[in-house]
Amino acid sequence: MATPSTPAPRSAPNPDRRSERARQAILDAALELCGEQLYAGLTMEGIAKRAGVGKQTIYRWWPSKAAILLEAIEERGRSTLDFPDTGNLEADLRTQMTQVAQAFASPLFAAYSKGLIAAAQSDPDIAKAVVDSIIKPRVDLCIERLTKAQAAGELRQDIDLADLVELLYAPLYYRLLLHTRPVTQSQVDTILNLALTGATK
Amino acid sequence: MATPSTPAPRSAPNPDRRSERARQAILDAALELCGEQLYAGLTMEGIAKRAGVGKQTIYRWWPSKAAILLEAIEERGRSTLDFPDTGNLEADLRTQMTQVAQAFASPLFAAYSKGLIAAAQSDPDIAKAVVDSIIKPRVDLCIERLTKAQAAGELRQDIDLADLVELLYAPLYYRLLLHTRPVTQSQVDTILNLALTGATK
């Protein structure tokens, strides 16, 4: 990136900026191709061709197609890292879970279920990378918000907050991965109603 | 099967019984191999070899390896079709969900997540078959039991029972497919506590 003290002259191409453009093109290509074809058919060569870069460029930055998809989902899924704190837990969960539901419903995220999570079933390294890079950061943010709510008396004192996170988000994954019904906004409303109030009240 | 009125003489091999033995050997072989290797490496030829039958025998009965696994999981997962009705909803859910948790924790069922559900992410026909043959029959039985509980006043009148089934079982699938924590009996207890009583009570 150019700094104010040493501006790059317009005529000289900036290699960092060019690299960043190539990196973004590769992430886009991987997501697009993963949506269009079987994950088994996705190759480094195909991604390079679609991105308009040489295969060596890709291998210099990533060891595997799963690594590219992981970075793509991490970057393009940043919206689901916003965890608001308005002081109203239910409203904040609704906002955050709606972002997740929208991501799950987007064709761009087919690469998440079809590529990464499917591959994770046979490959413990991919499974670990998905948990460490995608799931854990979001679970931690949610637990942080739930901890404040528990301290404020909005939640029962005797519940484990990691278990509550699981109960809230698991139904979204259930529909994404089992293809029973589409993930929707109304599902978010239903989950919150049931999980917060309970089925027996 | 031999009937009391026409017992098959011991010396004459019964072709139905022989077929049934071959069928069971093929289902076992498919489950074993799926646990041992990548799903992509599972072949009809490998299953035939392990089962000690000819490849043609397999193709005569099943069109694909997914079809074999589907039948194997359906048959070997029969225990999860028992839905007790003792008059106490929470106890009955605990019994049934414990059966599911035990199945998910069994290496035999690796074929369910690693084979069928992973393949379903790229193949809508497999996804539909999993829902129709495995998920829907169990959801229907659970809804039947929940309907009685709702009529008996054990559940809120204003909730959708299909949504409640999702909330109860989704966390088991979440751990099975995302590999965050092992599926355990204590998870069943936690789910029931949270989902029935609610997190805010």
Interface of B with A in 155-174 (CB under 8 A): 155-156, 159-160, 163-164, 166-167, 169-171, 173-174
Nearest-neighbour CA in chain B from A62: distance (Å): 22
Residues B49 and B27 in one domain: yes
A9: in domain: no
Same domain assignment for residues A62 and A90: no
pLDDT-based confidence at residue A18 (cuts at 50, 70, 90) = confident
Same domain, B42 and B119: no
List helix spans (H) across B62-123: 65-76, 89-105, 110, 118-120
Residues of B in contact with A190 (CB under 8 A): 160, 163
Q: Give residue B80's pLDDT.
A: 85
Q: Count structural domains, chain B.
A: 2
Same domain, A162 and A106: yes
Domain, as residue range, for A61: 15-66
| Residue B31 and residue B115 in one domain | no
Name chain B contacts of A118, Cβ cutoff 8 Å.
Answer: 117-119, 121-122
Specify whether B65 is located in the same domain as B83. Answer: no
Look up the ipTM and state it. Answer: 0.90
User: Are residues B104 and B150 both part of a single domain?
Assistant: yes
* B25-52 pLDDT, tens digit each: 999 999 999 989 888 899 999 999 999 9
pLDDT at B4 over 70: no
Task: List chain B residues with CB under 8 Å of A160.
Answer: 190
Residues A58 and A89 in one domain: no
Spatial distance between the Cα atoms of A190 and B66, rounded to a whole number of angstroms: 34
With respect to residue A72, please indicate whether it lies within any of the assigned structural domains. no
**Mean pLDDT computed over B118-144:** 95
- Residue A1 falls inside a structural domain: no
Contacts of residues B153-158 at CB distance under 8 Å and 24 or more positions apart, as own/partner, are B154/A200, B154/B89, B155/A199, B155/A200, B155/B89, B156/A199, B156/A200, B156/A201
Same domain, A162 and A114: yes
CATH of the domain at B47: 1.10.357.10
Of B73, B89, B112, the position where a domain reaches its end is B73
Kindly state whether residues B26 and B46 are assigned to the same domain: yes
Amino acid (one-letter) located at B110: A
Co-location of B104 and B177 in the same domain? yes
Does B12 reach chain A within 8 Å, measured CB to CB? no
Q: Are residues A22 and A87 in the same domain?
A: no
Domain-embedded: residue B127: yes
